[in-house]
Structure formats: C-alpha cells, structure tokens
Structure 1
C-alpha cells in the first residue's frame, strides 16, 4: 500500500506504541487517585507528557490542556472565551473566523451564530433555509484570497468594539496554504481580541515557538504526527502570574486539568502524544529539510504535467501537501480513489467532510471542480516514486 493521506491521519510509530503499552496493562492506575504507586506513576506519566508536548512548541507545561483531539480543543476555547467574555465580563458578542476553516471551527462558529440547530431526531444539521436561532452571538466569516488565505487587512477591518475572539486556521488541511499567523495575531491582539488558531496540520511539520508568536491559544491532535487517535491538546498562554485567561468550561465534571476539562485522563493516549511530540521535536529540523526537498521535487513533477493544475500558495504552504485539479472535466475523483484503493491511499479533500462539496474550493471559486480534485499528503517516509505511481494510474499510457 502506498499511503498518500497523512493529512487524514498518520501511522503510530513503534516508539510511541512501546511507550503507550505499559499504561494499557500493568500501569493502569487512575492519575487522579492518591497515595498508591500505580496512581502516582500514572500522574507522573501524564505530567511528563505535558512537558514533552509543551517542549515541542516552547510553551510552559502549565499552558497545556489535554483533550480528546483538536475538535474538542477548538470547541473548548471558542465557546469558552465567547461565553465568558459575553456573559461574565460583558465585553461583547462578536466573533471572527474564515470561510475555509476546518469543520471543527467552522461548525462551532455556525452553531454560535445560530445556523446549526437540532432536529426532532436529535441530529445536528445546517440548513440555510431554516431561520437562525438567536444564541446571543454574531460571527463574521471572512472571505479569502485565491490561495484560501485570510488577508490581515480583512481581519482588521472586521474587528469592531464588541469583537471578543478571532479564530483563523494556520495551515489549510485541504490545499496546504499557510496563513500569516504572525501578522493576523498581531492585528487581533492590537485591538484586544483573543486570537486562536487551529494548528493541527502544522504541529510537528513546521517550527512553532509560542514565546515569540502573537497567539493566545492553539489546538492540536496527536494522530497527525504519528501519535494515537483520540487525544489532543489545547495551548492557552498564561500571564506573568502563571494564570490562563478565564473561560467557561466545555466539559464539567471533576477537577482534572485544573477544572478546565473534567473526566478521567486517558493516560496511555496522553503518554503516546507526549512521546510523539518528543520524537517530532528531535527530528524536526532534519525532517523539514527532507520534506522541503521532496516537496520541490514533486511540485516540479506535477507542474510539468499539462493535465494537472496545482492549487494553493506555491511559496507559503505546508511541505508535502498537494491539491491537484485533474484537467479532464469528466474525471470523478471518488470513482478513481475507489479504483486504486487497494494499492494507493489518497483523498478527495478533508476526511471530516466526506461526501460534501468542499467549502474550501467553493471559497476560492473552484466549487465546480470539487469532483476533479485530489489531495496527496506525504509523510516522513514518503518518496517521489509514490506520487509517480499514482500519476501512472491517473494517466495510463
């Protein structure tokens, strides 16, 4: 199997699996329990993992909150800041995001904007024909440029006296373009707006140093950097006194994670995330150099094919993510992916929007080409020959 879908998920590395295994068998203690050895060792393992994740982004360990993944992290900080600043601090009710966010951000903001409602069968739907529900918030969804990037001027123009939070994706999970998070974050913070970014696709692939980054919060998932599924983290910047800004909890329960996220910690997954972060930090420079070289080689290969158009920013992008438009208007990406599925794993876009037209392509004026687009996303062990094999199936001689 040739695997070209690392944006969807990555294989758990052997070192990560080995680190996790003891906490599924003999070291099964609850880290919130007290006094006896298994509980103490479980708690120590969690705190070690917290240090490892913090180390990857140069944060303080106390700035890391473990969650079940970036989706929960996004929901936690967006709903938490919005609720607290409106109802407790009376600051305002206006939020800003973009039209190309991951659904974990986009649908959270749609919910607060009153666009997503519950049907009689308790399923959540988005129906533009249905009247919105007033949940007390208004959201501005920013347009983007041809590379699916948010312009700093557009963000700044959308800020108004009641704006409390802006959330802008760092690296686009469909076409790989990078937003200028430094410029965007600085613009938000200049106006006292809390700035959050979903950095899921960037973590472990590009350097992140929160000490010099104008962000208040970042979201991550472990399974994008050879860690396990079902665990992620939320970074929230602390002040000079070591305190996080107050925000309402999404999950109420016990006092785990300093009362921010109730529920028994999933120790083995957290340990796996920590090990994955440690490995990513130790290999980051070498892997980035290799991925950039591989990216240049494959971009040249794709650009030389007159039947392919490459989307996204040619300079400011995550190395190893390629969104291509196949020139044949009769090409059906879903049918093609099924045909090659026993040999090659690739995708038609985000794994979280399967079966739906790509909102990213729609936002950049390419909605009619949704069925012609393939996303190829590479990992540390990928080779140019992997893409060549897909192209051979795509354009047989």
Structure 2
C-alpha cells in the first residue's frame, strides 16, 4: 500500500486546478500587461482569478497581491510594516517562538537592520494568548505577526482575539495563514487582520504561487523592482496558469471545507487514539484547537530520520516536521518551544492527512508505525539504557 501522509508539506494538485492551468497554458498565453486582444484576454482571466480568491476570503480584489508563495508574502508583510513603522519612529515587532522560518529569519534580518523583536513564548500546546500579545505591545510597536495554524503541531491560534487587541492598540496585525487557508473558515470581512499570507500548494493548488492580502490602506513595500504589475507592489509578469490553478483549487477547497474537515478530523482522531497506545509516546499540539489533518507524535528512543526511512520502505510518505528544515540535524524549534525534551524531539513524526486519505490507510498506519518504532527501539542503545533504568524516561 502506498500512503501519502505529508499534506502539510505539499498537496497533490486537484483536477480542477490542473484543468484551469492547462486551459491558461493553451488559450490565455498572452501577457496580461499587453494591450492587444490576446493580452487583454489574459488580463480578464487574471482579474477573474483575483476576484474568485477575494470572494473565497471575504475581501475585495484590490486587496489581493499575487506572490511566488507563502515565504515571499511573509517577507513582504513584515518588511512593509517595519519600514512604514520606522518612518514614524516605530521599530518594534512582535511574533512567536513557533513561527515558520520565513517569519523568524526575516525578523532576524530586521534586527540586524536596527529593529527590535519580541518573540512570545507559547504554552505546552503551542498556544499564544491575546493577553501575552497585549502585554508585549509598546508605544514603538509597528507590527504583530502570529501564524493562524502551526505547520508542525497543528495548533490553531486565537487570531480573532489577537487581532482585536491589535486594533485596539492601533498596531498592524499579520497572520501567516499558509496552513489554514482552505482548511479553516476565514472571512476577512469579519476578521481583524491587516495582512495575511497564503500558498496555493497547501490546498491542492500548484507550487510557486501565493497571495498577500493587505487590507485597504495598509502600507506595502515592494521587494522586487521592475514593472508596474500588482499595482506597483510586485514586479514581474504574473504567472497566470499558476494563479488560475490556485483560484480553482481555493474555490473547490472552500466549497467543500466543512465536509472535508469533518471527514479528515475523524481520520485524525482515530490515528491519534491508536498511536497513543505506543509506550512513551507524546502527542504535540492542542487537542481541541487543531488542524483537522494534523497528527504529530514524539517517540522516545527513536531517531526521526530512521523512522521516516523505514516508513517510506513500507510505502508511507511522512515527515518529522517542516519540509523547509528537513536537512537540519537539530530538533524542531517548534517542539522545543512547547517543552518537548531535546531527546524526545529527535524522534518526532508528523502525519498530515487530506480528504484523499481513507480509513483503510489509517489502519495500515496504525499497524506500520508501532512496528517501526518497536524495531528501532530494539536496535537502540539509548532505548536499552532507558528500559534498564540506567537513564530516566523523559516522556
């Protein structure tokens, strides 16, 4: 059996997305900035995609800016707020310790440019509270950025409440919603968010394309110099086939969101209940406020890389955390931030499901994962020491 359980890393493009992309490649191949009829047909298709995406998110088409993906959108959001704040003497930014590296690395660069950054700690379930955000806001704070849902442990943050605090304090609020869009209901007409990032390949769209939503009046800084595309805020000819595929995938995801979320959550809960029977296993993330498809466990006495390789040999595609840090030998910064012991964090496993997964696949996972964990522990001198009492168990 072949099982794809790494949907938090990327998803299989939907048939609707592929059809939309092929249609653009074959018919709307013109440059949307060209004045001739082929270019204007492409411009109309681009506008339709922008309107479709705006309709799914509950905002206006003029608040949608196309990017190459979530990382670019995150970079543009942070730098826009930072540079706008600096012009009025506000050079303080607030975020959390569990953000994606697109946020954390950008904040590090801004610190090197003279900005100050506060990274808020989170609870053992990965939650940041509105009270903590409010306490951290200073007179010189120009931006708060808190991810909508964590890409590793699946915890969904109280975005509406945090946004309300920021509105009250007059501080811009950005959320990295890459893992949430298409999976969690989002209505920007009601949500107090100034900027939001999303990426198409997380909801069965193509890779290499995303969106930065910027509420009307929010100052933006262009990262790419060139032409006047995206109202002067993102130079470069728009990738219309990818944008059309993204719009088609998002329309489909939002139309089926409630049904898919309920189905996937059922698979998730069965998987969590089964994996918790493995001795010295630890579920990471919030049990209640959690993405429907996210399952993240740490297994003591197991090396995460070996776990993934043996699961792959059984036909199971999984990960140990963010695909963007898969080459690192260090344990996840997210797991360490929520208090998972260093040793246990090395044995992490993230299984992320979609509506394409089946109950039969979950039962296969519940058979395969304990077998692999048991095999690895039988070969581990660390596990032997733990079992014989020469070292204390940490989970």
TM-score, normalisation: structure 2: 0.90
Alpha-carbon offset, residue 85 of structure 1: 2.1
Which 10-residue stretch deviates more, 358-367 or 270-279?
Answer: 358-367
Aligned to 1:310: 283
Aligned length: 367
Q: State which drifts further: 25-34 or 316-325.
A: 25-34
Q: 2:325 aligned with 1:348, yes or no?
A: no
Q: Deviations over 1:300-346 (max 9, x none)?
A: 2233444432111110111110111124x1x1110121123241100
Distance 1:340 1:313 in 2: 25
Q: For each residue in 1:204-225, what CA deviation from the matched residue of structure 2 results, as whole angstroms up to 9, or x when unmatched?
A: 1111011111111110000000
Structure 1's unaligned 5+ residue stretches are 115-134, 239-243
Alignment of structure 1 residues 1-397 onto 2, 5 Å? 1-34=2-35, 36-87=36-87, 90-114=88-112, 135-238=113-216, 244-327=217-300, 329=301, 331-342=302-313, 343-356=315-328, 357-366=331-340, 367-396=342-371
Measured after TM superposition, the shift of residue 390 of structure 1 is: 2.8
Going from structure 1 to structure 2, the CA distance change for 1:392 and 1:289 (only over 3 Å counts) comes to closer
> Aligned in 2, Cα 1:332/1:65: closer, same or farther, shift over 3 Å?
same
| Distance apart, 1:37 and its partner CA | 2.2
SS in 1 for 2:298: strand
Q: How far did residue 391 of structure 1 move?
A: 3.4
Secondary structure (helix, strand or coil) at the match of 1:341 reads: helix
Instruction: Identify the residue that residue 386 of structure 2 maps to in structure 1.
Output: none
What secondary structure, in the 3-state scheme, does the structure 2 residue paired with 1:113 have?
Answer: helix
Aligned equivalents of 1:168 and 1:368: distance in 2?
A: 28
Do 1:56 and 1:280's aligned partners in 2 also have CA atoms closer than 8 Å? no
Deviation at residue 62 of structure 1 after TM alignment: 1.1
1:29–1:42 contact (8 Å) kept in structure 2: yes
Uncovered stretches (5+) of structure 2, i.e. residues with no partner: 375-395
Paired residues of 1:298 and 1:384 also in contact (CA < 8 A)? no
Q: Quick check: 1:91–1:164 contact (8 Å CA) kept in 2?
A: no
**Distance of 1:355 and 1:147 partners within structure 2:** 25
Return the TM-score normalized by structure 1.
0.89
Residue 49 of structure 2 contacts residue 243 of structure 2 at CA under 8 Å; is this kept in 1? yes
CA distance in 2, matches of 1:48, 1:298: 40
Report the RMSD for the aligned CA atoms in angstroms. 1.5
Describe the SS at the equivalent of 1:38.
Answer: helix
CA distance in 1, matches of 2:129, 2:123: 7
